[in-house]
Amino acid sequence: MTHPTPPLLQNLDLRTDPQAAAYIKQETVQVQFAALAGELSSREGPNRYALGDALVTGSTGDRWSVSRARFDARYLPLAPTQAGQDGAYNNQPIPVLARQMQHPFRMARSAGGDLLHGNAGDWVLQYAPGDYGVVEQERFARVYRRIDGADRP
């Protein structure tokens, strides 16, 4: 039996979505910086990365890549790790918009970027206009906390 292809979400803007809210991630992750360009497979789909990008393993065992510039702006080393070295990092408490989806879906991480997949109950995250992530529901519940009454990022 073949399953229909989930719809492709496009032009999504959670800043104007009444079902979206601001959340902060609270997690210590393990990081290796890529020695070569490549691709890793996450639960949500492929993650292509460039030399020097962060290859992140979360507290739930999930893996993903983060561009070096974005990683440096969002994560801080946990002693004894020094900035730019492989090791443990904590994310900074930077709000992100998120919305739980009720149906399976697909979406690009960015324009022309990797195509991610989500199941019913998974979450779409919007870091900035045109910059998205997908997080499985169980992982989202473990590492994200809603910011009640906060201004939307």
pLDDT in tens, 76-135: 999 999 999 999 999 999 999 999 999 999 998 876 678 889 999 999 999 988 889 999
Query: In the prediction, which pLDDT does 125 show?
Result: 94
In this prediction, residues 8-33 reach a mean pLDDT of 93
Q: pLDDT band for position 1 (50/70/90)?
A: low
Q: What is the reported pTM?
A: 0.82
pLDDT in tens, 43-52: 888 889 999 9
**CA separation for the pair 98, 25 (Å, rounded):** 11
Query: In the prediction, which pLDDT does 81 show?
Result: 97
**How high is the mean pLDDT of the chain?**
90
Query: In the prediction, which pLDDT does 45 show?
Result: 84
Q: pLDDT band for position 4 (50/70/90)?
A: confident
Burial class (CB within 10 angstroms; exposed 0-12, middle 13-18, buried 19+) of 137: middle
